[in-house]
Structure 1
């Protein structure tokens, strides 16, 4: 028979709770991924919007005064239209008495439609050199432009000087603009005009390779030989004068329909057209000028330098015979809306272009909304800080007056309930702290099915400490709410104090905690929970959060009479009030928030007692911290949803619904969910906009938070040295809390459910003395 090796241990089968917890954790992974995808989408939208506005990848450098020794003389002295047919540089001039009217930097939603209206009125065409980012933002204007019979060319995607850019960047600028044109008007184009270019004699050794490369790719580069200089806004008469060629010569004339305030251009354009027509000039497009010039010279029309049937920019293959189509002689009637330089976008180019237009539309809508949200969140955050400071100061002064009293001192015994599940590391320390209580108490330890000997350790600790007031009750594992309810039912006194099994009390804690019950309206009291294991980085961060975020908040909510949560680590209740609201509910993961709201709705007053301090063991790792805060935030949402009916409660019992519920939703859910916008926009601004201004703004917000935290530390008589950790907390810890809350929101919206989770304890919070 086979024998069993003594050293081989049988693997313990997982318990029901462990199996449920494992399944719950597995269900959360897709939601974590969804939260990260949402953050990635937000970042992508901002980067796209920044790229469109030249905040991301923008380059304002403009080259001037470089040598042109490598540029052929025939190009420097040639006409304003440069092609590379057959690999040879060729320039074309605009025929005499002909104007190739061109506009740069558009489309613009204000000025371009006015320019189009003027052109339509006088029935003349023009060539618009458009910026791809503007095309993607205002596609309908480009569609109207093309439909009206005008011609479009590329002016790069982000209006950069290409002589500074790599070949990859040059290709990207051209291809992205082609996609934008495909998505906006269903075309691509062979025309190109470089930003910051002028006449051909300004081509230098840096820009010449760019023009050669683009020429080899099938592009026709267009320059000017008559510039209106309308961007200088010199006045209507000077714009008209400067745009007029000399001696009846033909010209490629430059105006601008974007890039600044263009009212003078709009006023000058009709006067200019009428003047030139009176002088016998005709208007045409760049393709029309090429066709006229080549027809006059007996050459073959090549449609803006692209051979029929050959490869075209944007990956299009031109059908044979199509390249010769165009607007000849400037006559609009009888010409196709598909200009000679245009190619119909098909296949992947068309669909990618439409996808680009769609993505930009989302970014154009989302970023302004996010910006407004950022302002609202910023105002809400600063408003909360201001309200906390004012109300906390008032609370401190009110509760620390010599004449302040809740009523006759409370001396009667109370019951302290300690729910415990696998608390072998902490339960002895908890009982040892209660043994020093200056107030008469009975202690009820409810062992919720522990498997580590918690109940035996509790009995041994009580015996060794000579405590005769300790009862240990064992029950099958049913969860913390059930354990607390068991303790309430077993309590001998009318006031019950609830604490966690990993918490220690100061000798005076219970006495301080029960004094507010001298007021018969008080049904529950929140104590002052302190982080005991604060000498680690994670512990210090949580210490700051407890003092500033929790206790400062409780002072505010106390004065407003809408306290949302009695902390599980330290809270006291009238037994009759607990029984009146049905005890601790298992409906949510935040049983402490649940019962607190229920007591408000039952008409009881809930207060904060700052002098009743308890020292609790905070999570010691990021994983445990995530687990705890995830349960807290999700449980809070459950409790708020459960008690949504409080919004319509009447009378004094409806105060929480009228005041507390909106404040909790705004300050603990909505504002924190959108608070990452502040950090995302700050990082974005630091990298792409103005580092100094963004840094100063971030430091200003940090300064306000430090001020609030310092005041909170002063009220709680805490040592300020922990505030040195606050800048790092804002950079790391706070981001984690954002993700936890977003994760919780996604879980709530998708209908997920969580179970109560047990955190690993170390028992390092041994006594209440000397931890601060």
Structure 2
């Protein structure tokens, strides 16, 4: 599958989900419904013969006419359906008493329940149109009337493969109720080929007056024929069903026949078979409506899952990070019996085309308060990275050159050349504070600690994208690390600032190139080997975050895909015993839920925000969205306080949630597509600008790096 298609597919999936939600709202009458009802008007333009005539009005010809139902014939009509509960019960009673009826269906209900429409036709009943959305047509334009009829016919064609020539306007009653506003509608629909069917007896079942009263209202006088109005939808129709079971046999005993309208009038059937393109359009419509309902139901479940995960994660982060803070900040706290750790350590700096950043990185290390040796492993750079370091001629700094073999190979080369038992690893675009190394290695006072995660922070946070990543680093990464530390399942030692015990590295075979997230891979391997992995919040490192959407995409794509690879690689931990099993049954599920499932489902929050704004309930939707945002803001503020950061960047949090979340979703979905299609993502090195020259509050080096940086490639 070409890479371009992998980029496109996540956008297509997101657009398809939004389209399904829009279709669902469209069909459920939540955007186009018009509940206005016109008040009565004069009737002087309505022909008197129509007002005094029968309930069936034919305006298809030049002269309007009306028809009446013969004596002892009753045409039962049911409006507003089909309904999944009441229509089957009405059909069962009709079938029981061998009676036929006319069902005036709405397009919205027919689109959602096509099987019921098909059953009506199969059991010999007649279908009429009752518009798509049930508006008062006297308040609508001709264009809207045409749309209501066309959409209703489309739903009918998809459900039963037919068209119908029968029509009943919403909110209508008997023909003598026609007036100057409703008569033009009747005339117009006649020009579109429809017979308009009014009533002679209204059961008023919508009032729920009781079965006995419904029967009285629906019974014609002195053997006259009638078109009786009932409803099979729009509310509780239990009284209608009850009345119908008595009404049908009683009137049959009085000599009445219950027939379709065209049967009672001895006219050709109102149904016409639909074929060809129109039939397939109808079937496609019904299929898409069903799909939109099914997909929406799945998305609602997904929304519930993401809601649970969001609040569960926030709850765990707040509770466990507070425990972590109380433990590490209490007076007299030490990491272990060998505290403090004062022995020299080796700092490895893998570098590939880092000319713009490498001098800043090395000079920041020269200010370390802890004794260190510095190894810059040049992984075949073509921009003079190694020469820049060598020209600095700084004491304690060594350069190790190798042909380009990838970041894991560079780190393994550095481990082999390191002189000390504690090894610090950092990226070539990162700068350390003077206290960083000392704070990072103190947990090794505990002999059970095999690796330590430092506190990676965004150094270039003066742009909008930088501010968003700053929020993510402080809240999403460092607050998470406090939580994972307490749970003893830290999933990742950040490449920008991490430390390892050489013994732990050797026991797991060093850095591996099996995944694109070598830092996550090695961390999981160390957990499975029985070592502790902890978080040192005071070991701060300042790194250069991507400054463009394209660069951010590339970085997060690699992270997401690499994390998924690492989870899959270490999946056997789920069934193993000992430390590996504990990490597998605690760490892997949490990482999968919070780092894979939750980001994949998070955009549902915003999709349903758009849905709620368009289709309602608008107030509750806005309140719910801002409620989630308030919880996120509270957690973010707490994280910022713990990290002693200014709260100003949180102003951009609402915009971050709307835009950043969609980007992370697309990146994660693209990673899933790459994994499922068997693709293998190559390393994607980011273009560095060298903007993080020194930690905040410190002076930058006097002479910045002299060479120009490369752009792509790098250590996989």
Q: TM class, shorter-chain normalised?
A: over 0.9
Structure 1 distance, partners of 2:651, 2:60, is 69
Q: Is residue 599–residue 661 contact of structure 2 (8 Å, CA) maintained in 1?
A: no
Q: Is the deviation greater in 506-515 or in 135-144?
A: 135-144
Q: Is residue 60–residue 192 contact of structure 2 (8 Å, CA) maintained in 1?
A: no
Structure 1 distance, partners of 2:250, 2:39, is 34
Mapped pair 1:99 → 2:74 = yes
Deviations 1:43-77 (A, max 9, x none): 22222222221113222222222344443333233
Q: Is residue 104–residue 254 contact of structure 1 (8 Å, CA) maintained in 2?
A: yes
Select the residue among 696, 702, 709 that pairs with 2:623: 696
Match of 2:182 in 1: 207
Select the residue among 332, 336, 340 that pairs with 1:409: 340
Structure 2 distance, partners of 1:622, 1:471, is 36
Unpaired runs of 5+ residues, structure 1, are: 1-25, 292-302, 304-323, 325-339
Select the residue among 285, 289, 292 that pairs with 1:356: 285
Q: Is residue 424–residue 457 contact of structure 1 (8 Å, CA) maintained in 2?
A: yes
Match of 1:506 in 2: 433
Structure 1 distance, partners of 2:23, 2:284, is 13
Structure 1 distance, partners of 2:612, 2:121, is 37
Structure 1 distance, partners of 2:422, 2:45, is 95
TM-score (norm 2): 0.95
Structure 1 distance, partners of 2:52, 2:686, is 81
Mapped pair 1:429 → 2:360 = yes
Structure 2 distance, partners of 1:765, 1:208, is 77
How has the CA–CA distance of structure 1 residues 205 and 740 changed in structure 2, closer, same or farther, with 3 Å as cutoff? farther
Mapped pair 1:48 → 2:23 = yes
| Aligned residues: CA RMSD | 1.7
Structure 1 distance, partners of 2:570, 2:19, is 38
Match of 1:370 in 2: 299
Deviations 1:388-417 (A, max 9, x none): 100000110011111221122111100000
Structure 2 distance, partners of 1:165, 1:751, is 55
Match of 1:156 in 2: 131
Q: Is residue 529–residue 579 contact of structure 2 (8 Å, CA) maintained in 1?
A: no
Q: Is residue 126–residue 285 contact of structure 1 (8 Å, CA) maintained in 2?
A: yes
Q: Is residue 199–residue 224 contact of structure 1 (8 Å, CA) maintained in 2?
A: yes
Structure 2 distance, partners of 1:556, 1:628, is 24
Cα offset, 1:211, TM superposition: 2.3
Match of 1:380 in 2: 309
Q: Is the deviation greater in 665-674 or in 195-204?
A: 195-204
Q: Which runs of 4+ in 1 moved over 6 A?
A: none
Structure 1 distance, partners of 2:379, 2:56, is 87
Deviations 1:94-153 (A, max 9, x none): 223321111111111221122112212222211111112222222222222112111111
Match of 1:238, SS state, is helix
Match of 1:216 in 2: 191
Structure 1 distance, partners of 2:187, 2:67, is 16
Structure 2 distance, partners of 1:472, 1:205, is 94
Match of 2:265, SS state, is helix
Unpaired runs of 5+ residues, structure 2, are: 700-716
How has the CA–CA distance of structure 1 residues 771 and 698 changed in structure 2, closer, same or farther, with 3 Å as cutoff? farther
Match of 1:11 in 2: none
Match of 1:442 in 2: 373
TM-score (norm 1): 0.88
Match of 1:106, SS state, is coil
Deviations 1:714-749 (A, max 9, x none): 111110111111111112122211111111111111
Q: Is residue 87–residue 216 contact of structure 1 (8 Å, CA) maintained in 2?
A: no
Mapped pair 1:64 → 2:39 = yes
Q: Is residue 51–residue 158 contact of structure 1 (8 Å, CA) maintained in 2?
A: no
Deviations 1:503-556 (A, max 9, x none): 000000000000001111111000000101111111111000000000000000
How has the CA–CA distance of structure 1 residues 77 and 765 changed in structure 2, closer, same or farther, with 3 Å as cutoff? same
Match of 2:646 in 1: 719
Cα offset, 1:381, TM superposition: 1.0
Q: How many residue pairs end up in the alignment? A: 697
Q: Is residue 603–residue 661 contact of structure 2 (8 Å, CA) maintained in 1?
A: no
Cα offset, 1:771, TM superposition: 8.3
Match of 1:87, SS state, is coil
Match of 1:629 in 2: 556
Structure 2 distance, partners of 1:759, 1:207, is 68
Structure 2 distance, partners of 1:661, 1:239, is 64
Q: Is the deviation greater in 591-600 or in 81-90?
A: 81-90
How has the CA–CA distance of structure 1 residues 404 and 341 changed in structure 2, closer, same or farther, with 3 Å as cutoff? same
Select the residue among 417, 421, 424 that pairs with 1:497: 424
How has the CA–CA distance of structure 1 residues 185 and 703 changed in structure 2, closer, same or farther, with 3 Å as cutoff? same
Match of 1:314 in 2: none
Select the residue among 248, 254, 268 that pairs with 1:273: 248
